[in-house]
Structure 1
Amino acid sequence: MVEGGQASLVGLAPINFELYKDSHPTTYISTKLCHVGDNLDRYLMGRQFMVIFIAFCINMSGAPVGGAELWGLPQFIIDIFLVTGFAMILLTCMVGQLATQVNASHCMLDYINTYFAVFTFYTAMAIEFSGLMHVSYFIQKVVGWLAGKPIKSNEPPKSAVQLAFFWFRVLLSAAVLGFSLAVTLEGLFTGNTTMWDGVPNAVALILFFVLMSVVGLLEGMQIAFFAVARLKKSERGNAPFAMKTCELLFRGDGHNL
């Protein structure tokens, strides 16, 4: 629901929610708040934490114990599918994520027309409000400034109290991020992680940052693809690589999305 909900809420953003107020009343409950001001960005931030948290819980629930055996299979099969978690990855992706995203991308209104979708939406908003990830807003502003494209809000300027509360959460989030990064790097430098035996600590550190970058790129592309899906071809800009990507993505009936 969290994965499909993202596809639906991002894809429906350009659509006037009053058009389906009567036909999809439960969807309307979420979109009438999500598609006002900067709430879509807030939802996406809280939703991302939910996805990572749930994925880690799934991994922990299916992680094998030491010396686990399965159906008398050879050890290399057990190592590939059970010990590495590859079987759990396939199950999570194909059942919990991909199937829902594919369905939601074609049935956006129907997919989130349930109270469970409303629950996940408000949970994501509550997570964002906690401020745990507010340092991302600061990073967003810095990147926008460096790119020469300042981030523009869809809301009126914040009051002094709102600004103080916002920057307090940014500082709190930065402190949490700094501590988390220190703990992670210490574990990587000292080899106190579950990285495969024989992989040098330096390589593990490099892999960590490379994979983090890849994940960030894929997540950003996903949001961009669903957002662009509802735009007319003339509204997609003229950046060469963006146009080539859209041409491939929306070719034919749009099933490439």
Structure 2
Amino acid sequence: MGLIASKQTKLSSEADPTTAYLFIWIAVIWLTIVEGGQAALVGLAPVNKELYRDSHPTSYKCTSITNKGDNLDRYLLGRQLMVVILVFCINIAGRPLDGARLWGLPVWVSDIMLQSGLAMVLFTCNVGQLNTQVNASHCMLDYVNNYFALFTVWVAMAIEFSGLLHSSYLVQMAVTTMAGKKIESKEEPRNPVQTWFFYFRCILSLVILIGCFAVTLEALFQGKTTLWEGFPAWLAIVIFFALMSVVGMLEGMQIAFFAVSKIPESERGDSVWAKKTCDLLFRGEGHNLPGFMIGRQLCVVSCMFFIARVTSVSIPEGQENLFGVGDALEQLFGTGLLGALITTICASISWQLVASAFPLAFLSSPINYYLLRLCLLLESTGLCEAAWVIAAGHRKIAGFQRDEVYIGTAEERAMGEMDDLCTKVSMEMHDEGPFRRKTGTPLKS
């Protein structure tokens, strides 16, 4: 915040501090809704939405959208791009200029905290991501019971409908074919028109993705990005692909870990590295899994900030635009949207699909083991402990309560003949059941 006030960030220097403050806080607050919304909507998917129709009407509207057909998958796909775009926006507003100094801090402190981007990474993780995941994982109903969350659902659905990410479906088809599986759907088969429209968007998405790569690589070769001055182009390209691979590995590891957590130890394959990774992950009382999630968040955000810097086009004054395009299109290149699209498809969704289809094979690489070690090391530093404090304060101010207060536990719902997976509910039975209360009213302790 101090750098913005002193006009030592990209946006505050080009516009003004007020604009930069608005930009960064809107991005961070929206990021909290996107991250928390994922935890809440995925967690509420198996819960009968009629249980909270009266107590949480906006949450009911959200789940009425995401629980219909394959909409939850569509929401998650669109949401993934939203996360990357918002992180890139935070980078635009908060990235320090080269040589930025603040409050008379020693040069080495400024270099570590400011120039490396560590301060911005910690700010994004603690304020925009981890604290909201803590609250949303326990207070799902309260967290999405607002129109901002509903608006976010519609935006994510619109992004998916646009077709920008449809090349991911081509990856999904290829992966499921290799795995000898079929893509499961909760919807009727597409009619000819729907099929044509679907594949049209897949091809369009693939063309756009290729174009994004072409622009990004051309900008890197010509030195027309926001990278540090004098940074070799060849090294930037190597690091760009390396960091995308790291992000992809971490995204895939998350999926694979959740998959193998439900598999008996005896069925976790014969790979030495897969066994070592699983032994480390599930050691003791299982605290290493949440520890990995925290460390993973730090790694992913750090990589994304660097990728944002690599892929944001910046044309020096007096030089020609890339490929001779107009100024309006060149400004679009400079927003980092192209890098966000590349990162979402190639460094996130594709790897998740592979890990989902082949979890044990995915964990058979030694890279996974050492990345797990790195994530656990980062978590052990305590750099993200502030997220718990922020979460507690937010929960207190917002008045969040655990979902059990409103709808009981899964066992209580089962006793009340309100099975989560039911599609019809007898309200009379519910009022006369063990709860002896109206739907959505708090349970008495």
User: TM-score scaled to structure 2, two decimals?
Assistant: 0.50
Structure-2 separation of matches of 1:55 and 1:17? 32
Q: In the alignment, which of 123, 140, 164 is matched to residue 196 of structure 2?
A: 164
Q: State the AA in 2 paired with 1:211.
A: L
Is this contact kept in 2: 1:59–1:85, CA < 8 A?
A: no
**Structure 2 counterpart of 1:13, from 45, 52, 57:** 45
User: 2 CA distance for matches of 1:17 and 1:66?
Assistant: 51
Answering whether residue 114 of structure 2 is matched by residue 82 of structure 1, we say yes
2:151 corresponding residue in structure 1: 119
Letter in 1 for 2:76: L
CA distance in 1, matches of 2:98, 2:236: 22
- Residue 214 of structure 1 and its aligned partner are, at CA, apart by 2.7
Write out aligned runs for 1:176-255 (5 A): 176-195=208-227, 200-220=232-252, 222=254, 236-238=262-264, 239-240=267-268, 244=278, 251=286
Deviation at 1:169, TM superposition (A): 0.8
Q: How does 1:85-96 map to 2 (within 5 A)?
A: 85-96=117-128
Q: Give the SS at the match of 2:187.
A: coil
Alignment gaps of 5+ in structure 1: none
Deviation at residue 177 of structure 1 after TM alignment: 0.2
Q: CA deviation at 1:197?
A: 6.5
TM superposition shift of 1:166:
0.8
Q: Does the 8 A contact of 1:10 with 1:223 survive in 2?
A: no
**Kept after mapping to 1: 8 A contact 2:99/2:115:** no
Q: Give the match for residue 21 of structure 2.
A: none
Query: In the alignment, is residue 40 of structure 1 matched against residue 72 of structure 2?
Result: yes
| Secondary structure at the counterpart of residue 245 of structure 2 | helix
Secondary structure of residue in 2 paired with 1:132: coil
Measured after TM superposition, the shift of residue 88 of structure 1 is 1.1
Deviation of 1:24 after TM superposition, in Å, equals 2.2
Taking only aligned residues, the RMSD between alpha carbons, in angstroms, comes to 2.9
Aligned residues: 249
Q: Structure 1: how far apart are the matches of 2:40 and 2:252?
A: 16
Moved more, 35-44 or 71-80: 71-80
Q: Distance in 1 between matches of 2:40 and 2:235?
A: 39
Q: By how many angstroms is 1:201 displaced?
A: 4.0
Deviations 1:87-134 (A, max 9, x none): 111101101111001111122222111111111111111111111111
- Is the CA contact 1:46–1:125 (under 8 Å) kept in the aligned structure 2? yes
Of all paired residues, the percent bearing the same amino acid is 57
